Chain A
Amino acid sequence: MTVPFAAKRLGKELQKISNSLPPGVELVSAENFEEWLLDIKVLDNNPIYQNQTYRLKFRFGPSYPIEPPEVVFVQLPDRPIPMHPHVYSNGIICLDLLGQQGWSPVQNVESVCMSLQSMLTGNSKDERPPGDEDFVRANRQRPKDIQFYYHDNNV
């Protein structure tokens, strides 16, 4: 039986990350090839993110890695949504890497985690994106269907 290529690729990634993950990234669960949970921490002493752990939810479509995965932060009692001008308070992340345009099939779960880590590390603004409240209230779309306008090249 031929395995769909998304599952095949994810199988390899899983094998790799269960062996070794970069510091500050932890695999929480990967029960199937549709949804994985990972925890990330910011390692340097950026005061905004100190002593906090954030939960990331990856959802993979059948065309992964040709299409990007859907990546959001999830809120749990001990897992807040990080403050960042490109992270909405419902966990949706505005990052071109995760959009159709910026995504490349050579990216993987590990590299996405590391990009998000560095996105947080490099941030000095303790704030939400403009229009956060409206967006969070009104949005019923899946992250991949939202048309983001990527304007900030400093992330």
Chain B
Amino acid sequence: MESFDVPDSTDWIGTPLAGLMQVEQAFRCHVCKDFYNSPMITSCSHTFCSICIRRCLSVDGKCPLCRALDQESKLRGNWALREAVDAFVKSRNTIMEFATTPVSVPTPRSPKRKATELEEPLQEGQNKRPRMATRSSKAKAVEANAVLMREEVDVVESEDTPDYEPEPDDGLVACPICWARMKSWQVDRHIDNSCPGSPQPQKVSSSTTNNRSGSGFGPARSLFQNPPTPTKAPERLPALAYSMLKDTALRKKMGELGLSTAGSRQMLEKRHQEWITLWNANCDSAKPKRRSELMHDLEVWERTMGSRAPTMSRAANMGAQIKDKDFDGAAWATKHDTSFKDLIAKARGSRNKAVQKKDEANEAGESGTPRDDGKGINGTGAMPDLLQGAVVDLTGPPSSQPEPPDSPLREPRGPTSSGVGFTGQGPILGKEALHPLTDRTSTCSSSQGPEGAPS
């Protein structure tokens, strides 16, 4: 078993900050139990990771929590939660360290104090640590407020935070119109107020009042200029109605997407579905992966659940698929009744041929005159015929002896070898065949047995 680093909400149990267990639980997806990754909210107001809910909906179209019907197209990003989760994840280690290192008395009180901290901002001057905590969290709140206020005035203001780094994957998004990079929540306001209206990377959002941020912004611009390829938001792929799609059309579509078209139709559909899930979930992400990374994810899927999955699980998957949802066995049976009957008739026909060959062989062995009795074209004739054959075999072992010299003569003809095989093991096969013959389906399978066998 591989070992994983598995942080869990239960890590908080036993620390002075046990209350954070609930906080952390609220930040974790109910499906994958991991922190929300691109959280999406459903029509029923439940939130899951993008990839989790997309997988669930593609399987049964219901919300995993309340079983309400929903569609992928109705999912909306839960950006506030995304920011909250990101912030929590970033500081989790620090908080955990703080909670697990044995410290002096005041530690356990700090979480509780949050509620009262507004009323008593400066009372605890003696105690160093809690005071620090109070001040910093308070300061942060104030700062955040200030930032918000300033952003009301000027969008670029946030750029002067000291750890600002103008990398394309820093969690910023590009304005869909002018490609300027900004925090996702700023986009709407930016488009309304200050967007220049055409792709012009330099003219970042507001060229307005602020000198301070402008100067700090200088080096960043040059980076923005070379049009960062990942900024253009990838488009979501539509789901396909596979049942309406012919094989060739599906293969063509998959070819266009650069997906492998190997495997059965069922495999193609599953692969395409998985790709759509991966792709669309990636579209929801704040930091979209490159296509090659998604391809790698698909590769992993291929190895674990797709075409190269261990056979057992593949069989299980197939089974699950056929049993899936609304499969109506009776309707299927009636619909394909004729083809089933056809198969049975064919199987009987080939059985008859085999029997005839065998009879001929026997005849040839005994008297040297091949016999063609013309029996067994229709299905009902097969049974007595075979019975006879079996009886002949059972009763006349000497008659099957001359076969070896006989068989080379018949070698060129297809069914002969199977016929010979049949007689060669006459006593055993005959007996076996007698029992299943009573029911139709096994007639089919038992007569196909010797024919289909590689011999």
Interface size class of B (residues with CB under 8 A): 35 or more
Query: Within the complex, which residue of A8, A16, A61 is in contact with B4, where a contact is CB–CB below 8 Å?
Result: A8
A11-B6 contact given A2-B296, A4-B300, CB 8 Å threshold: yes
Q: Which residue of chain A lies nearest to B304 when distances are taken between CB atoms in the complex?
A: A4
A144 at the interface (CB under 8 A from B): yes
A67 at the interface (CB under 8 A from B): yes
Do the beta carbons of A66 and B33 come within 8 Å of each other? Answer: no
Tell me the residues in window 56-70 of chain B with beta carbons closer than 8 Å to chain A beta carbons: 56, 59-60, 62, 64-65, 67
A128 at the interface (CB under 8 A from B): no
A100-B4 contact given A2-B300, A105-B52, A105-B64, CB 8 Å threshold: no
A104-B316 contact given A20-B13, A62-B309, A66-B56, CB 8 Å threshold: no
B394 at the interface (CB under 8 A from A): no
Residues of chain B contacted by A105 (CB below 8 angstroms): 30-31, 52, 56, 64
Complex Cα spacing A21 to B33, Å? 16
Complex Cα spacing A108 to B30, Å? 9
B432 at the interface (CB under 8 A from A): no
Do the beta carbons of B4 and A11 come within 8 Å of each other? Answer: yes
B90 at the interface (CB under 8 A from A): no
Do the beta carbons of A100 and B10 come within 8 Å of each other? Answer: no
Q: Which residue of chain B lies nearest to A14 when distances are taken between CB atoms in the complex?
A: B6
A32 at the interface (CB under 8 A from B): yes
A137 at the interface (CB under 8 A from B): no
Q: Mark A9-31, 1 if CB is under 8 A from B, else 0.
A: 10111111001100000000001
A144-B320 contact given A19-B8, A66-B55, A104-B65, CB 8 Å threshold: yes
B319 at the interface (CB under 8 A from A): yes
Do the beta carbons of A63 and B323 come within 8 Å of each other? Answer: no
Complex Cα spacing A148 to B1, Å? 34
Within the complex, the shortest CB–CB distance from B300 to chain A, in Å, comes to 5
Query: Within the complex, which residue of B4, B56, B64 is in contact with A3, where a contact is CB–CB below 8 Å?
Result: B4
Do the beta carbons of A12 and B316 come within 8 Å of each other? Answer: no
Complex Cα spacing A13 to B324, Å? 26
A19-B309 contact given A100-B320, A106-B30, CB 8 Å threshold: no
A106-B65 contact given A61-B313, A66-B56, A145-B323, CB 8 Å threshold: yes
Do the beta carbons of A16 and B8 come within 8 Å of each other? Answer: yes
A7 at the interface (CB under 8 A from B): yes
Residues of chain A contacted by B62 (CB below 8 angstroms): 104
12 residue pairs from A and B, CB less than 8 Å apart: A4-B301, A5-B32, A8-B4, A12-B34, A14-B6, A16-B8, A63-B317, A100-B320, A100-B323, A106-B64, A145-B320, A147-B323
5 closest pairs, A vs B, by CB? A106-B30, A12-B33, A4-B304, A15-B6, A19-B10
